[in-house]
Structures are given as structure tokens and as C-alpha cells.
Structure 1
Amino acid sequence: MIEAIDIHKSFDDKEVLKGISTKFEKGKTNLIIGQSGSGKTVLLKSLVGLHDITSGDIRYDDNSFLSMDNASKKRLRQDIGMLFQGSALFDSLTVEENVRFPLDMFTDWNLEKKRERANFCINRVKLENANHKFPSEISGGMQKRVAIARAIALNPKYLFCDEPNSGLDPRTSIVIDELIHEITKEFDMTTIVNTHDMNSVMGIGENIIFIYEGRKLWEGTKDDIFHVQNKELEDFIFASKLFKKIKENNG
């Protein structure tokens, strides 16, 4: 579990996060949603330690991240998997080498063991026979699956996904969502997904927080969202005719 406690974050004189408190539960896909500029990306980067917060606390399984010394933070970061918006693969490395990269960086395993783990992760995301291909030789959806395989290579306790469906077609997006959901359950991780994709919300949103102008305005599940009494969230969700129709059908 990851807990945010009264998080404030300012850049110079502009306050971007304004007292956000929430819990991201273990074994669930926890979603942060909100329009562009709402602060959801800043929140995600603050949780993972890419931004220093102005005040508040972040706790990983009851351990304060802010109170950790550098050695403890380094150990924690080895328990964190990151799925970046643009996949962030190394163009000059093969699929297998990309997946093996964190193992090369953070373990003293021999090459055979690292290859074995990389192959396990590649097969888990259903990319058999792609080991020796380069990122430029595979599709965007396949690149995203490579990035997921790399993110789970160190068997992390926590998985952060920044706009995982960015640039993907709807069908491929569903595949990526289902894969993230499956591995969250399979490895019992605390997964946090930053997204504005309502298909993701309705597909895998087990715990959802809605950020608006730096504040948490709502929290619930995908089943709760149709009964929401919050104008800003309603405007965000039902901006499309599709979701207006879904709401009408649900009562």
C-alpha cells in the first residue's frame, strides 16, 4: 500500500497540489484521473520521488519515504517498476536487452539467470520470439508490452504507469489495460495508473481518485462513478456522447 498524507507541492509561487490525501491499495489497479493541468502527473511523480513535495508525507507500507536515508530510498526504488508514457525503450538495444537492463543495473546475477528472468517477463507479456528485434521493428503496442516486461523484471512491489495507453488504438489500449490488471493481481502489486482514458476507468478502475485544480474532489470505484454527485467529475466523464448514453442506460 502507498499512502499520500496531505501532500502539497509548489513550483516557485504556484501551488500545484493542494493537500491531497488518499490510499493506493495493494493488489488493485488504482487510477488517478483528471483533465490536463489538474496536477495528476505532478502527483504521480511526487509519489515515486521524482518531485520533492513541499509538505505532507508519502508512506510505503507504513514507512515514511521522506524519513528514509539515501540507502533506504535506493532499496525502495528497486521495488518500484515504472511504465513511462512513451515506453522509453532504448532504440539501440534489442527487446531482450531492454528488459534485461534493470537486471544489469541492479543485480549481480550471472548472464544466464538474467536472460532467464528477461525471457520469463517477455513471455508473460506474450511477446514470444521477439527477443532479438529492435524497438523500431515492432508496433507501438508491442513496444508498450516490452516496457511492461521491463517494469516487472525486478519483481517490484509497486508499479507506476504514466498514461500507458497514450498513442495506442482502442483495441490495443484494452490489451494493455488487461495486461496491467492481470499482472497486478498475479504479483500482488500496488499499481497506480495516471490516465485520462475513460475506457481504462471503466475497464480496470478498482480504486479511482479524481484530481481537479490540484485537489482530490472524488474517490471511488468504476461502479460508483455513474452515481456521482460532482459537477466537475461529471463534466470530465460525460464529455463524450458515448458516456452520456452509458449513464442514461444505467439509470
Structure 2
Amino acid sequence: MIEIKNLCKSFEDKQVLKDISAVFENGKTNLIIGQSGSGKTVLMKNLVGLLDPTSGEVLYDGRDFVAMSKKEKIMLRREMGMIFQSAALFDSQTVLENVMFPLDMFSNMNLRERQQRARTCLDRVNLVEAERKYPGEISGGMQKRVAIARAIALNPKYLFCDEPNSGLDPKTSLVIDELLHGITQEFDITTIINTHDMNSVMGIGENIIYIYEGQKEWQGHSKDIMESTNRKLTDFIFASDLLKQMRAAVRGKE
């Protein structure tokens, strides 16, 4: 579990995050949503230590990340997996070598053990057959699946995903969502996803944090969205005519 308490972040005289408190739960897909410029990316960067908050706490199972020494933060980061907006794979390495990279850096396994662990992770994302290919030889969706395999190679307790469906078609996005949701439940990971994808929000949003102008405006399950009376949230979620029609249809059946 990750908990933030009264988190604030300012850049000179501009306050970007304003007294945000929230809990991100184990075994659930926790989504951070909000329009561009709302502060959700800054929030994610504060969670993983790329930025230091101006004030407030970031607690990893009760451990205050903000107050840790540099050495303690490095140790905690070994418990984290990260999936970037671009797959961020190494073009000169094979798929297998990409997945092995964190194992090469941080594990005490021998070569055979590292290869076996990498293949296990590739099997989990249905990509064992691509292990000898290079990133340029596989599709964008497959690259994202390799990134997921690499992110779980060290059995992380916490998984951070920055726009994991960026640039993917709806069908492939659904595959990525199902993988992230399944892995989160299977390994009881605290997964936090920064996303604009409304299909992800409605499909796997078990704990959603909606950020509006640097403040936590709403928190809840995707099932709660249809019934929400929060105008800012509904204006954001149901911006398209199709989603507005879907919401009206659901309410019409009651």
C-alpha cells in the first residue's frame, strides 16, 4: 500500500499540487486521471522520487519515502517496477536481454537463473517466441508487453505505469489493460497507472483518483462514476458524445 498525506508541490511561486491525501491499495489497479496540466504527472514523479514534494508524506507500507536517506531510497526503488509512456527498450538488445536488464543490474542470480526468470516473465505476457527478436522487429503492442515483462522481473511490490496505452489501438490497449490488471491481482502488487484512456478508466479502474487543478477532486471505483454528481468529474469523463449516451442509457435502465 502507498499512502500520501497532505502532499504539496510548488515550483517557485506556482503551486502545482495542493494538499493531496490518498491511499493506493494492494492488489488493485489504482488510476490517476485528469486533464493535461492538472498535476497528475507531477504527482507520479513525487511518488517515485523523481521530484521531492514541498511538504507532505509519501508512505510505502508505512515507510516515509520523503524522509529516507539517498541509500534507503535506492533500496526502496528495487521494490518498484516502471513502465514508461514509450516502451523505453534498448534497441541494441534482444527482447530477452531487455527483460534481463534489471536482473543483470540488481539480482544475485547466475546467468542461467536470470535467463530462466526473464523467460518466465515473457511467458506471463505471451511473448516467449519473440525472445531473440529486437525491439525494431516487433509491434508497438508487443514492445509494451516486453516492458511489462521487464517491469515485473524483480518481483516488485509497487508498479508504476505512465500512459501505458499511449499510441496503441483499442484492441491492443485492452490486452495491455488485462495484463496489468491480471498481474496486479496475481502478485498482489500496488499498481498506479497515470492515464488519459477512458476505456482503461471504465474497464480496470478499481481505485481512481481524479486530479483537478492540483487538487484531489474525486476518488472512487469506476462503477461509481456513472452515479457521480461531481460536475467536474463528469464533464471530464463524459466529454465525448458516445460516453454521454452510454451514461444516459445506464441511467435510463434504472
- Range into which the TM-score falls when normalised by the shorter chain: over 0.9
Structure 1 residues 80-102: Cα deviation after superposition (integer angstroms, max 9, x where no partner): 00000001111111100100000
Identical amino acids, percent of aligned pairs: 65
User: Partner letter of residue 22 of structure 1?
Assistant: A
Residue 154 of structure 2: aligned partner: 154
Residue 244 of structure 2: aligned partner: 244
Q: Distance in 2 between matches of 1:11 and 1:134?
A: 40
Structure 1 residues 206-240: Cα deviation after superposition (integer angstroms, max 9, x where no partner): 00010011000000000100111111111111111
Q: Distance in 2 between matches of 1:108 and 1:128?
A: 23
Once the two structures are superposed, the pairs formed by residues 42-121 of structure 1 within 5 Å of their partners are 42-121=42-121
Any idea what SS the aligned residue of 1:227 has? coil
Any idea what SS the aligned residue of 2:72 has? helix
User: Partner letter of residue 93 of structure 1?
Assistant: Q
Residue 231 of structure 1: aligned partner: 231
State how many pairs are aligned: 251
The unaligned stretches of length 5 or more in structure 2 are: none
Q: Distance in 1 between matches of 2:165 and 2:88?
A: 14
Residue 140 of structure 2: aligned partner: 140
Runs of 4+ with >6 A deviation: none
Q: Distance in 2 between matches of 1:43 and 1:133?
A: 36
Residue 202 of structure 1: aligned partner: 202
Q: Distance in 1 between matches of 2:17 and 2:68?
A: 22
Q: Distance in 2 between matches of 1:128 and 1:61?
A: 34
User: Partner letter of residue 114 of structure 1?
Assistant: R
Q: CA deviation at 1:71?
A: 2.4
State which drifts further: 94-103 or 228-237: 228-237
CA RMSD of aligned residues (A): 0.7
Structure 1 residues 139-180: Cα deviation after superposition (integer angstroms, max 9, x where no partner): 000000000000000000000000000000000000000000
Residue 182 of structure 1: aligned partner: 182
Residue 219 of structure 1: aligned partner: 219
1:18 and 2:26 are equivalent in the alignment: no
Q: Distance in 1 between matches of 2:53 and 2:246?
A: 38
Q: CA deviation at 1:129?
A: 1.1
Q: Distance in 2 between matches of 1:179 and 1:108?
A: 27
User: Partner letter of residue 60 of structure 1?
Assistant: Y
Q: Distance in 1 between matches of 2:172 and 2:9?
A: 34
Any idea what SS the aligned residue of 1:26 has? coil
After TM superposition, the score normalised by the length of structure 2 is: 0.97
Q: CA deviation at 1:68?
A: 1.7
After TM superposition, the score normalised by the length of structure 1 is: 0.99
Q: Distance in 2 between matches of 1:114 and 1:107?
A: 8
Any idea what SS the aligned residue of 1:192 has? strand
Residue 164 of structure 1: aligned partner: 164
Q: Distance in 2 between matches of 1:106 and 1:243?
A: 45
Q: Distance in 2 between matches of 1:41 and 1:87?
A: 17
User: Partner letter of residue 220 of structure 2?
Assistant: G
Q: Distance in 2 between matches of 1:209 and 1:246?
A: 22
Q: CA deviation at 1:107?
A: 1.4
